[in-house]
Amino acid sequence: MAATRSVKVPPRALKRATMLWSKEFTERVARDMEDWGGREFMEIFMNFCYGGLYDRNVLPQKTRELCAVAACVMANALPQLRTHIQAAWNCGASKREIMEVILQMLTYCGAPYMLQAARLARHDVFPHLKKGQKASLAPAGTGAAAPKAAKNAARKKPARPKAARRPGRRSR
């Protein structure tokens, strides 16, 4: 296995992001960003989001993360929804509170996005959340967190089903 390249996450950003997720996950996100956006972009992003926006003392972190869950449902941003469900959990939100935020989005974004989010939470994320334990495993489906095998499996295209012939039509 290749050695993992170290990355210097700005200290204030690392402090907040580690509170929301884990140091390992934060460093993987930073490494991934640095790979495709360069060091300067990674630092700008980390300082603005984790070291700036997420570090303001206006809203409690739990409220901020529940807002992020709602925004991810609205945008149908499922990989980010996974990480923000975990962050909400780590900030003290219950599974019931998280699901209620998702359900409330029915009014704003419609049933398809809300149902996808509810299924993802219920079947993919909630089973890994244990009462009294921080969600520290890197969520599946994020570029930085997905193991190599999962990335390779995701790249494979599913087999196309054969087109069904409609009754009464002849093929040419």
pLDDT, one tens digit for every residue, the chain (172 residues): 455 678 899 989 899 888 888 888 889 999 999 999 999 999 999 999 988 888 899 999 999 999 999 999 999 999 999 999 999 999 999 999 999 999 999 999 999 999 999 999 999 999 999 988 888 655 454 444 443 433 444 444 444 445 554 555 555 4
**Looking at residue 7, what is its pLDDT?**
85
Other C-beta atoms lying within 10 Å of the C-beta of residue 5: 9
Question: What CATH number is given to the structural domain containing 123?
Answer: 1.20.1290.10
* pTM over 0.95, yes/no: no
Other C-beta atoms lying within 10 Å of the C-beta of residue 88: 27
Does residue 162 belong to any structural domain of this protein? no
Number of domains within the chain: 2
CA distance 96 to 25: 25
**Looking at residue 3, what is its pLDDT?**
55
Closest C-alpha to 120, from 130, 108, 128, 109: 128
Measured at the CA of 119, the angle between CA 117 and CA 124, to 5 degrees, comes to: 100
Domain that holds residue 32: 9-58
CA distance 103 to 165: 39
